[in-house]
Protein backbone atom coordinates (compact mmCIF):
# COMPACT_ATOMS: atom_id res chain seq x y z
CA UNK A 1 0.00 0.00 0.00
CA UNK A 2 1.46 3.41 -0.93
CA UNK A 3 1.22 6.48 1.25
CA UNK A 4 -1.89 7.92 -0.42
CA UNK A 5 -3.70 4.62 -0.19
CA UNK A 6 -2.79 4.29 3.47
CA UNK A 7 -4.17 7.76 4.10
CA UNK A 8 -7.41 6.85 2.34
CA UNK A 9 -7.64 3.63 4.31
CA UNK A 10 -6.99 5.47 7.56
CA UNK A 11 -9.64 8.05 6.64
CA UNK A 12 -12.14 5.32 5.89
CA UNK A 13 -11.36 3.66 9.20
CA UNK A 14 -11.96 6.92 11.02
CA UNK A 15 -15.23 7.39 9.15
CA UNK A 16 -16.30 3.84 9.85
CA UNK A 17 -15.23 4.26 13.45
CA UNK A 18 -17.32 7.39 13.83
CA UNK A 19 -20.20 5.65 12.12
CA UNK A 20 -19.98 2.71 14.48
CA UNK A 21 -19.97 5.02 17.49
CA UNK A 22 -23.18 6.79 16.50
CA UNK A 23 -25.95 4.99 18.27
CA UNK A 24 -29.56 4.76 17.17
CA UNK A 25 -32.08 4.17 19.96
CA UNK A 26 -35.59 2.81 19.64
CA UNK A 27 -38.13 4.53 21.86
CA UNK A 28 -41.56 3.26 22.93
CA UNK A 29 -44.58 5.50 23.40
CA UNK A 30 -48.13 4.25 23.88
CA UNK A 31 -49.86 7.46 22.81
CA UNK A 32 -50.92 8.67 19.39
CA UNK A 33 -50.77 12.07 17.68
CA UNK A 34 -52.44 14.86 19.57
CA UNK A 35 -51.53 13.47 23.02
CA UNK A 36 -49.08 15.70 24.97
CA UNK A 37 -46.62 12.83 25.53
CA UNK A 38 -46.29 12.16 21.82
CA UNK A 39 -45.10 15.71 21.19
CA UNK A 40 -42.83 15.50 24.25
CA UNK A 41 -41.22 12.25 23.07
CA UNK A 42 -40.62 13.77 19.62
CA UNK A 43 -39.01 16.72 21.39
CA UNK A 44 -36.87 14.32 23.45
CA UNK A 45 -35.58 12.74 20.23
CA UNK A 46 -34.71 16.15 18.77
CA UNK A 47 -32.97 17.23 21.95
CA UNK A 48 -30.91 14.04 22.22
CA UNK A 49 -29.64 14.46 18.66
CA UNK A 50 -28.91 18.13 19.29
CA UNK A 51 -27.19 17.74 22.65
CA UNK A 52 -25.13 14.69 21.70
CA UNK A 53 -24.04 16.29 18.42
CA UNK A 54 -25.75 13.47 16.55
CA UNK A 55 -23.83 10.72 18.37
CA UNK A 56 -27.13 9.37 19.64
CA UNK A 57 -30.31 9.49 17.60
CA UNK A 58 -33.71 8.30 18.78
CA UNK A 59 -36.51 6.84 16.67
CA UNK A 60 -39.76 7.12 18.55
CA UNK A 61 -42.42 4.50 17.82
CA UNK A 62 -45.78 5.95 18.84
CA UNK A 63 -49.16 4.30 19.40
CA UNK A 64 -47.72 1.30 21.27
CA UNK A 65 -46.66 -0.37 18.02
CA UNK A 66 -43.62 -1.92 19.73
CA UNK A 67 -45.88 -3.82 22.12
CA UNK A 68 -48.11 -3.50 25.17
CA UNK A 69 -46.80 -1.49 28.10
CA UNK A 70 -45.89 -4.44 30.38
CA UNK A 71 -44.06 -6.07 27.45
CA UNK A 72 -42.26 -2.86 26.51
CA UNK A 73 -41.10 -2.34 30.10
CA UNK A 74 -39.62 -5.83 30.03
CA UNK A 75 -38.00 -5.06 26.65
CA UNK A 76 -36.33 -1.94 28.05
CA UNK A 77 -35.09 -3.92 31.06
CA UNK A 78 -33.36 -6.41 28.80
CA UNK A 79 -32.23 -3.77 26.30
CA UNK A 80 -34.33 -4.83 23.29
CA UNK A 81 -35.94 -1.36 23.38
CA UNK A 82 -33.66 1.43 24.59
CA UNK A 83 -35.95 4.05 26.06
CA UNK A 84 -39.62 4.88 26.58
CA UNK A 85 -42.29 6.98 28.22
CA UNK A 86 -43.71 4.69 30.88
CA UNK A 87 -46.44 4.92 33.46
CA UNK A 88 -45.19 3.81 36.87
CA UNK A 89 -48.29 1.64 37.43
CA UNK A 90 -47.23 -1.23 35.16
CA UNK A 91 -43.65 -0.98 36.47
CA UNK A 92 -44.90 -2.02 39.92
CA UNK A 93 -45.15 -5.76 39.19
CA UNK A 94 -41.45 -5.71 38.24
CA UNK A 95 -40.13 -3.14 40.70
CA UNK A 96 -41.93 -3.27 44.00
CA UNK A 97 -40.95 0.27 45.07
CA UNK A 98 -42.83 1.71 42.09
CA UNK A 99 -46.05 0.39 43.65
CA UNK A 100 -46.05 3.37 45.98
CA UNK A 101 -47.79 5.42 43.28
CA UNK A 102 -50.46 2.76 42.79
CA UNK A 103 -51.83 3.11 46.29
CA UNK A 104 -55.06 5.07 45.81
CA UNK A 105 -55.00 8.60 47.28
CA UNK A 106 -51.33 8.31 48.32
CA UNK A 107 -50.71 11.78 46.85
CA UNK A 108 -52.73 14.84 47.84
CA UNK A 109 -52.27 16.53 44.47
CA UNK A 110 -50.05 16.52 41.40
CA UNK A 111 -47.63 19.07 42.98
CA UNK A 112 -47.46 16.84 46.08
CA UNK A 113 -46.65 13.84 43.86
CA UNK A 114 -43.77 15.77 42.28
CA UNK A 115 -42.49 16.87 45.71
CA UNK A 116 -42.36 13.21 46.79
CA UNK A 117 -40.60 12.23 43.54
CA UNK A 118 -38.08 15.02 43.91
CA UNK A 119 -37.26 13.94 47.48
CA UNK A 120 -36.15 10.77 49.23
CA UNK A 121 -39.18 8.84 47.92
CA UNK A 122 -38.16 9.48 44.32
CA UNK A 123 -34.57 8.54 45.09
CA UNK A 124 -35.60 5.19 46.54
CA UNK A 125 -37.95 4.40 43.66
CA UNK A 126 -35.47 5.60 41.04
CA UNK A 127 -32.63 3.53 42.49
CA UNK A 128 -34.78 0.40 42.59
CA UNK A 129 -35.91 0.94 39.02
CA UNK A 130 -32.33 1.50 37.81
CA UNK A 131 -31.30 -1.67 39.64
CA UNK A 132 -34.04 -3.55 37.77
CA UNK A 133 -32.71 -2.28 34.43
CA UNK A 134 -35.09 0.63 33.80
CA UNK A 135 -33.52 3.92 34.83
CA UNK A 136 -35.73 7.01 35.14
CA UNK A 137 -34.13 10.06 33.49
CA UNK A 138 -37.02 12.42 34.22
CA UNK A 139 -40.55 12.33 35.66
CA UNK A 140 -43.54 13.46 33.66
CA UNK A 141 -47.12 14.38 34.54
CA UNK A 142 -50.11 12.14 34.00
CA UNK A 143 -52.61 14.11 36.09
CA UNK A 144 -55.20 12.24 38.13
CA UNK A 145 -57.30 9.28 37.09
CA UNK A 146 -61.08 9.21 37.53
CA UNK A 147 -63.87 6.76 36.73
CA UNK A 148 -66.05 6.80 33.64
CA UNK A 149 -68.99 4.65 32.68
CA UNK A 150 -72.58 4.87 31.42
CA UNK A 151 -73.58 6.45 34.72
CA UNK A 152 -72.02 8.76 37.30
CA UNK A 153 -69.74 7.13 39.88
CA UNK A 154 -69.96 9.53 42.78
CA UNK A 155 -69.51 7.09 45.65
CA UNK A 156 -67.81 3.69 46.04
CA UNK A 157 -71.31 2.15 46.15
CA UNK A 158 -71.78 3.23 42.52
CA UNK A 159 -68.96 0.84 41.55
CA UNK A 160 -70.76 -2.14 43.12
CA UNK A 161 -71.43 -4.85 40.58
CA UNK A 162 -69.73 -2.97 37.73
CA UNK A 163 -67.02 -4.54 35.65
CA UNK A 164 -64.20 -2.00 35.59
CA UNK A 165 -61.12 -2.21 33.37
CA UNK A 166 -57.84 -1.76 35.23
CA UNK A 167 -54.18 -1.85 34.27
CA UNK A 168 -52.52 -5.16 35.01
CA UNK A 169 -51.27 -4.36 38.51
CA UNK A 170 -52.62 -6.18 41.56
CA UNK A 171 -53.23 -3.02 43.55
CA UNK A 172 -55.80 -1.85 40.99
CA UNK A 173 -57.59 -5.17 41.19
CA UNK A 174 -57.77 -4.80 44.97
CA UNK A 175 -58.95 -1.21 44.60
CA UNK A 176 -61.98 -2.19 42.51
CA UNK A 177 -62.77 -5.26 44.63
CA UNK A 178 -62.72 -3.11 47.78
CA UNK A 179 -65.62 -1.12 46.29
CA UNK A 180 -67.59 -4.23 45.38
CA UNK A 181 -66.78 -3.99 41.66
CA UNK A 182 -65.37 -6.64 39.33
CA UNK A 183 -61.88 -5.68 38.16
CA UNK A 184 -60.95 -6.55 34.62
CA UNK A 185 -57.21 -6.21 33.87
CA UNK A 186 -56.70 -5.38 30.22
CA UNK A 187 -54.24 -3.74 27.83
CA UNK A 188 -54.89 -0.08 27.02
CA UNK A 189 -55.33 -0.86 23.32
CA UNK A 190 -58.34 -3.10 24.05
CA UNK A 191 -60.33 -0.82 26.30
CA UNK A 192 -62.32 1.19 23.76
CA UNK A 193 -63.73 -1.93 22.13
CA UNK A 194 -64.44 -3.51 25.53
CA UNK A 195 -66.38 -0.42 26.62
CA UNK A 196 -68.23 -0.32 23.32
CA UNK A 197 -69.32 -3.94 23.38
CA UNK A 198 -70.12 -3.95 27.09
CA UNK A 199 -67.33 -6.40 27.97
CA UNK A 200 -66.60 -3.84 30.69
CA UNK A 201 -68.96 -1.24 32.17
CA UNK A 202 -66.37 1.36 32.92
CA UNK A 203 -62.72 2.29 33.20
CA UNK A 204 -60.59 5.00 34.74
CA UNK A 205 -58.05 7.39 33.28
CA UNK A 206 -57.05 11.04 32.95
CA UNK A 207 -58.76 13.45 30.52
CA UNK A 208 -56.11 13.33 27.74
CA UNK A 209 -56.22 9.52 27.49
CA UNK A 210 -60.01 9.42 27.93
CA UNK A 211 -60.16 11.64 24.88
CA UNK A 212 -57.24 10.53 22.70
CA UNK A 213 -58.27 6.89 22.36
CA UNK A 214 -61.98 7.59 22.06
CA UNK A 215 -63.20 6.23 25.40
CA UNK A 216 -65.46 9.30 25.61
CA UNK A 217 -67.20 8.13 22.45
CA UNK A 218 -68.46 4.98 24.17
CA UNK A 219 -69.31 6.26 27.68
CA UNK A 220 -71.52 9.04 29.00
CA UNK A 221 -70.27 10.07 32.46
CA UNK A 222 -66.85 11.04 33.84
CA UNK A 223 -66.79 11.43 37.63
CA UNK A 224 -63.88 13.27 39.25
CA UNK A 225 -62.89 10.71 41.89
CA UNK A 226 -59.19 11.43 41.21
CA UNK A 227 -58.33 8.24 43.10
CA UNK A 228 -54.91 7.73 41.51
CA UNK A 229 -52.19 10.23 40.65
CA UNK A 230 -49.66 8.12 38.81
CA UNK A 231 -46.48 9.73 37.53
CA UNK A 232 -44.70 8.64 34.38
CA UNK A 233 -41.06 8.65 33.40
CA UNK A 234 -38.75 8.87 30.47
CA UNK A 235 -36.86 5.69 31.29
CA UNK A 236 -33.78 4.17 29.65
CA UNK A 237 -32.09 0.77 29.78
CA UNK A 238 -29.66 1.04 32.69
CA UNK A 239 -26.73 -0.80 31.07
CA UNK A 240 -27.00 1.27 27.93
CA UNK A 241 -27.00 4.51 29.89
CA UNK A 242 -24.14 3.49 32.16
CA UNK A 243 -22.00 2.56 29.17
CA UNK A 244 -22.14 6.16 27.87
CA UNK A 245 -19.34 8.62 28.57
CA UNK A 246 -20.04 11.17 31.31
CA UNK A 247 -20.66 13.88 28.71
CA UNK A 248 -23.13 11.76 26.78
CA UNK A 249 -24.93 10.81 30.00
CA UNK A 250 -25.25 14.50 30.89
CA UNK A 251 -26.54 15.29 27.39
CA UNK A 252 -29.16 12.53 27.43
CA UNK A 253 -30.29 13.40 30.93
CA UNK A 254 -30.56 17.09 30.05
CA UNK A 255 -32.60 16.19 26.95
CA UNK A 256 -34.99 14.11 29.08
CA UNK A 257 -35.32 16.83 31.72
CA UNK A 258 -36.05 19.47 29.11
CA UNK A 259 -38.54 17.22 27.31
CA UNK A 260 -40.22 16.46 30.66
CA UNK A 261 -40.63 20.16 31.44
CA UNK A 262 -42.09 20.65 27.99
CA UNK A 263 -44.43 17.69 28.62
CA UNK A 264 -45.66 19.27 31.87
CA UNK A 265 -46.51 22.50 30.04
CA UNK A 266 -48.29 20.63 27.27
CA UNK A 267 -50.08 18.51 29.85
CA UNK A 268 -51.50 21.49 31.75
CA UNK A 269 -52.97 22.99 28.59
CA UNK A 270 -53.85 19.67 26.92
CA UNK A 271 -55.64 18.22 29.89
CA UNK A 272 -57.89 21.28 30.29
CA UNK A 273 -58.59 21.25 26.57
CA UNK A 274 -59.38 17.52 26.62
CA UNK A 275 -61.93 18.10 29.38
CA UNK A 276 -63.58 20.89 27.37
CA UNK A 277 -63.61 18.74 24.24
CA UNK A 278 -65.26 15.74 25.88
CA UNK A 279 -67.81 17.97 27.60
CA UNK A 280 -68.58 19.58 24.25
CA UNK A 281 -69.07 16.07 22.87
CA UNK A 282 -71.73 15.42 25.52
CA UNK A 283 -69.85 13.78 28.41
CA UNK A 284 -71.35 14.70 31.79
CA UNK A 285 -68.47 15.55 34.15
CA UNK A 286 -69.33 15.43 37.84
CA UNK A 287 -67.25 16.99 40.62
CA UNK A 288 -67.12 14.96 43.83
CA UNK A 289 -67.00 17.40 46.72
CA UNK A 290 -66.39 14.78 49.39
CA UNK A 291 -64.01 12.02 48.41
CA UNK A 292 -63.77 10.56 51.90
CA UNK A 293 -66.09 7.59 51.17
CA UNK A 294 -63.65 6.55 48.41
CA UNK A 295 -60.66 7.13 50.68
CA UNK A 296 -62.28 5.16 53.50
CA UNK A 297 -62.99 2.25 51.16
CA UNK A 298 -59.27 2.15 50.36
CA UNK A 299 -58.31 1.46 53.98
CA UNK A 300 -58.61 -2.26 53.34
CA UNK A 301 -56.37 -2.01 50.26
CA UNK A 302 -53.59 -0.37 52.29
CA UNK A 303 -53.94 -2.82 55.15
CA UNK A 304 -53.80 -5.87 52.95
CA UNK A 305 -50.93 -4.53 50.83
CA UNK A 306 -48.77 -3.42 53.75
CA UNK A 307 -49.40 -6.64 55.66
CA UNK A 308 -48.07 -8.56 52.66
CA UNK A 309 -45.30 -6.01 51.93
CA UNK A 310 -44.13 -4.59 55.26
CA UNK A 311 -40.94 -3.28 53.61
CA UNK A 312 -43.11 -0.77 51.73
CA UNK A 313 -44.16 0.96 54.93
CA UNK A 314 -41.16 3.27 54.87
CA UNK A 315 -41.97 4.62 51.40
CA UNK A 316 -45.62 5.10 52.35
CA UNK A 317 -44.56 7.03 55.44
CA UNK A 318 -42.18 9.18 53.38
CA UNK A 319 -44.99 10.04 50.96
CA UNK A 320 -47.52 10.69 53.70
CA UNK A 321 -45.15 12.90 55.69
CA UNK A 322 -44.08 14.96 52.66
CA UNK A 323 -45.74 18.37 52.81
C1 LIG B 1 -52.58 6.37 30.30
C2 LIG B 1 -51.09 6.20 30.47
C3 LIG B 1 -50.62 4.97 29.76
C4 LIG B 1 -51.41 3.77 30.24
C5 LIG B 1 -52.87 4.03 30.11
C6 LIG B 1 -53.71 2.85 30.61
O7 LIG B 1 -50.40 7.34 29.98
O8 LIG B 1 -49.25 4.79 29.99
O9 LIG B 1 -51.07 2.65 29.53
O10 LIG B 1 -53.23 5.21 30.79
O11 LIG B 1 -54.70 3.07 31.28
O12 LIG B 1 -53.03 7.49 31.02
O13 LIG B 1 -53.34 1.71 30.31
Note whether 223 and 97 are same-domain residues: no
Note whether 68 and 112 are same-domain residues: yes
Distance between Cα 168 and ligand 1 center (Å): 11
Prediction pTM value: 0.93
β-sheet bridge partners, residue 57: 24
Distance between Cα 232 and ligand 1 center (Å): 9
Distance between Cα 281 and ligand 1 center (Å): 22
* Bridge-based pairing state of the strands 83-87 and 232-237: antiparallel
Q: Is residue 30 part of a domain?
A: yes
Nearest CA to ligand 1 atom 11: 188
Note whether 48 and 163 are same-domain residues: no
Domain of residue 166: give its range.
145-228+283-321
Q: Is residue 240 part of a domain?
A: yes
What residues flank ligand 1, with Cβ below 6 Å?
30, 69, 87, 142, 167, 188, 205-206, 209
β-sheet bridge partners, residue 26: 59
Distance between Cα 163 and ligand 1 center (Å): 18
Note whether 32 and 105 are same-domain residues: yes
Q: Is residue 10 part of a domain?
A: no
Nearest CA to ligand 1 atom 3: 87
Domain harbouring 153, CATH code: 3.40.190.170
Note whether 99 and 176 are same-domain residues: no
- What secondary structure, in 3-state letters, does 269-307 show? HHHHHHHHHHHHCCCEEEECCCCHHHHHHCHHHHHHHHH
Note whether 214 and 315 are same-domain residues: yes
pLDDT tens digits, 104-159:
999 999 999 999 999 999 999 999 999 999 999 999 999 999 999 999 999 999 99
* Bridge-based pairing state of the strands 23-28 and 56-61: parallel
pLDDT tens digits, 233-273:
999 999 999 999 999 999 999 999 999 999 999 999 999 99
Amino acid sequence: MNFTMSLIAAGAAVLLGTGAMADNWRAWNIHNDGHPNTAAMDRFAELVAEKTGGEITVDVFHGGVLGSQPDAIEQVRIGAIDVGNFNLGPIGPMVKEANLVSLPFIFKSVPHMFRVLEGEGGEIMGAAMAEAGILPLAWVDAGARSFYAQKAINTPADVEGLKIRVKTTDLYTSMISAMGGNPSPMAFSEVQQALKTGVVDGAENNFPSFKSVGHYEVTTHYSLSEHLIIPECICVNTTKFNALSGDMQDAVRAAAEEAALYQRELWAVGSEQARKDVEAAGIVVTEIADKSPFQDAMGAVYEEYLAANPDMRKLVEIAQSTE
